[in-house]
Structure 1
Amino acid sequence: MQIEASLFREIQDYAEINHVPIISFEGASLLVQIVSSSKPLSILEIGTAIGYSTLKFIEHMPSDANVVSIELDNERVEIAKAFIAKAGAENKVQIIAGDAGSILPQLTGPFDLVFIDAAKGQYLDYFKKIEDKLSQHSVVIADNVLFRGYVESNEAPPRRYKTIVKRLREYLSYVTDHPSFNTHLHRVGDGVAISYYRGKKSE
């Protein structure tokens, strides 16, 4: 689906003025590359924000694909819906307002691609809740996993970030060591981890 470049610029401008975090240009390029190559028919997005990455998915996914997107902030939900409507893509996405930790267990899946870009301290919890909802050869993408460089740094992070950094390290260890996933860490933007699902290992 073709989406006007001017709409993406409008969303970027809104995000900058209103201090809404959206995926970096490099991160978005990586998303587009993965969606274009893997051709997912069902996408789960954890963290809609104002719909920037949602529309990137919609622009490059197959015409018969759909997105389920979860967002905690009600104001951002309405803004995202407005931008998506402006693109004429309302029928391509279902936005669910609420806490992802509570919503994920209720979803059935299966999902061909999952994008995690919400509360950084909850990434591992989110991942564990979607593990049994993945299709064969699904891809799980997590943004901001290096969190300002603190995750890979030997220096202690500021006290207010200690828990987030600890939990992101736990997330990366989990997806890297998991026998059912092949994970690559891309040092673009604030760090993007891409975990390729190998399917359930036979007993």
Structure 2
Amino acid sequence: MENINMEYIDDYIKSLIKNEDDKLEQFRKECEKRKLPIIHKEVGQFIKLIIKQINAKSIIEIGTNVGYSSIFMSHEMNNEGKVVTLERSEKFYNEAIENVKKFNLENNIKVHYGDAVDLLDTIDGTFDLAFIDAAKSYYGTFFDKCCKKMKSGAIVLSDNVLYQGMIANDDLVVRRKKTLVRNLRDYLKYISQDNRYITSVLPLGDGLAVTLIK
């Protein structure tokens, strides 16, 4: 089970999305063929909407993988803004660097190698948008560290927060995921009930939390 919605619903939503860049679409297909955990197409469409709505010019991303989402977000900023992205896997870090070069975005995307828990304390600048898609048990830590770097009225997007439906239904929880599920539930409760934030959890992809920093 990859998504939380019925497959026919996901397929229909995806069929409505217009592909605007052939090179980027080919990159997506290559990632999907390798079964890499890139953003779901419908999640990408929502991210595009947010970028345009808030006129984002600076984005920080936790979890680069091979760079698809960084390149996608840079593309949606018309390759004019900046993306700072953090990746702890050396293999994916090196792939991301090469992919950024293939899209000629070395001046727009800065990829950092290391654990985001530590790296976030070293990143300079402020950001309009944060995208969190890394180790699920550390979402709370990532969120708090990102918030210190966000501009007033910024948006934090947290991906895969419903985690194959386990977060909403105990019957789906497998034993080896119990700690992850508990941490994600605590995280969603935190960002939903703290008065400093306004959060909406959307059933897109594997669950997307959208948080406005007041």
Instruction: Measure the CA separation in 1 of the matches of 2:168 and 2:51.
Output: 27
> Which consecutive segments of 4 or more residues in structure 1 shift more than 4 A?
none
* Alignment root-mean-square deviation, CA: 1.7
Distance verdict in 2 for CA 1:64–1:19, change over 3 Å: closer
Instruction: Measure the CA separation in 2 of the matches of 1:193 and 1:45.
Output: 15
Instruction: Measure the CA separation in 2 of the matches of 1:108 and 1:85.
Output: 23
Give identity over the alignment, percent: 32
Aligned partner (choices 60, 76, 81) of residue 44 of structure 1: 60
Give yes or no for contact 2:74–2:80 (8 Å, CA) kept in 1. Answer: no
Counterpart in the other structure of 2:29: 13
Q: Which piece of structure 1 moves more, 172-181 or 8-17? A: 8-17
The answer to whether residue 117 in structure 2 is matched with residue 66 in structure 1 is no
Q: Equivalent residues in 2 for 1:1-203 (5 A)?
A: 5-61=21-77, 64-155=80-171, 157-198=173-214
How far apart are residue 131 of structure 1 and its match? 1.9
Alignment length, in residue pairs? 196
Structure 1 residues not aligned, in runs of 5+: 199-203
Give yes or no for contact 2:163–2:206 (8 Å, CA) kept in 1. Answer: yes
Instruction: Measure the CA separation in 1 of the matches of 2:22 and 2:87.
Output: 24
Q: Which piece of structure 1 moves more, 142-151 or 73-82? A: 73-82
Task: Supply the AA of the counterpart residue of 2:157.
Answer: I
1:28-62, Cα deviation, whole Å (9 max, x unpaired): 11111100111112110000111111111111126
Task: Supply the AA of the counterpart residue of 1:97.
Answer: Y
Task: Classify the secondary structure of the residue corresponding to 2:107.
Answer: helix
Structure 2 residues not aligned, in runs of 5+: 1-18
1:81-136, Cα deviation, whole Å (9 max, x unpaired): 22221211111011001100110112233111100001111101111112221111
1:162-184, Cα deviation, whole Å (9 max, x unpaired): 11111111110110011111101
TM-score (norm 1): 0.91
